[in-house]
A = this chain, B = another copy of it.
Amino acid sequence: MTHFGYFNGTVLPADQIGVGVTDLSLLRGYGLFDYFLTYNGRPFQWDWYWERFANSAMCMHLPLPITKEEGYQIVMDLIERSGQPDVALRFVMTGGYAPDSITIRKPNLLIMSEDIHPTAPQQYADGIRVILDEYVREMAEVKSTDYKRLILLADEIRAAGAQDVLFCKDGEISELSRSNFFIVKGEKLITPDRHILRGITRRTVIQLARTDFEVEERPVLLSELYDADEAFTTSSTKKVLPIVQVGDLTIADSKPGPKSAWLLSQFNELVTRW
């Protein structure tokens, strides 16, 4: 199957799109993105994703070159061209072409469909391990393209037999490299509320959880992991994925817990009906 991409008004097979060499993401790392899946051929939580994309653009002083309605039309067109029942969609917006290599004039906007890379069933069955890293993302609330830290840590994560990294600065937990973090304690569902990207799956899970949990969105300390019943991470591709080890610390009995499983089943039910 060929994926197509929209780039500044033109739609082409994605592998035929070329970004020019004065683009500010290439020269200066100046870009933002967003990413979501479709279910039953429809973009999941489109309103929330568009809202976040527009907010990231505003925070990075980039005017949106298209309206929400135009964005939706482009997305539906790309889904149809992909010939696949469900795809991932990636929005990438950069500072645009800068002949002086530094000044924003007009952003470049790329929207493309991609294959979905679902999380392996074994990871849900076993839970994942994460390493700890003393770090907090700059401008974490903006979905910028700044992922240097994760790529630099790739070898360390692999060497530890882990799947990801949990960022923690001065004893306070923020998020994983590309997903949010939750702990369960009794009837409480607790998740950090600052220095994080406000994940759409996080938001969906909080909404689903309200019937059965007391939800606390607040700063979360690393020390709170010691008596957590369960921990999990959320993202569009991970959904609700149990975490059984953080650094040297085993969470509960190092097996995925029932409350994470229940939230995952609620999430799966929602997307099946989407």
Contact = CB atoms under 8 A, between A and B. Distances in A.
- Count class of interface residues, chain A: 35 or more
B26 A17 contact: no
B27 A26 contact: no
A101 B21 CA distance: 20
Interface stretch (A138-146, A242-250, A264-272): A138-146
Contacts of A104: 151, 154
B21 A17 contact: yes
A2 to B, nearest CB: 13
Contacts of A20: 15, 17-19
A102 to B, nearest CB: 7
A203 to B, nearest CB: 23
A29 interface: yes
Nearest to A112: B21
Number of copies: 2
B148 A21 contact: no
Contact of A26 (B92, B144, B148): B92
A25 B28 CA distance: 9
B103 A30 contact: no
A24 interface: yes
Contacts of A144: 29, 148
Given A14-B21, A18-B20, A61-B155, A145 B26 contact: yes
Contacts of A162: none
Nearest to A177: B102
Given A15-B20, A18-B17, A19-B19, A147 B28 contact: yes
B152 A60 contact: yes
Contacts of A23: 19, 26
A94 interface: yes
Contact of A151 (B102, B112, B146): B102
Interface string A249-266: 000000000000000000
Contacts of A92: 21, 26-27
Contact of A100 (B112, B117, B148): B117
A53 interface: no
Contacts of A114: 101
8 contacts: A15-B20, A15-B21, A17-B21, A18-B18, A28-B147, A90-B101, A146-B146, A146-B148
Q: Closest 7 A-B residue pairs measured CB to CB?
A: A18-B18, A28-B147, A29-B29, A29-B145, A29-B146, A19-B19, A25-B26
Interface of A: 5, 7, 14-15, 17-21, 23-31, 33, 60-61, 90, 92, 94-95, 100-104, 110, 112, 114, 117, 138-139, 144-152, 154-155
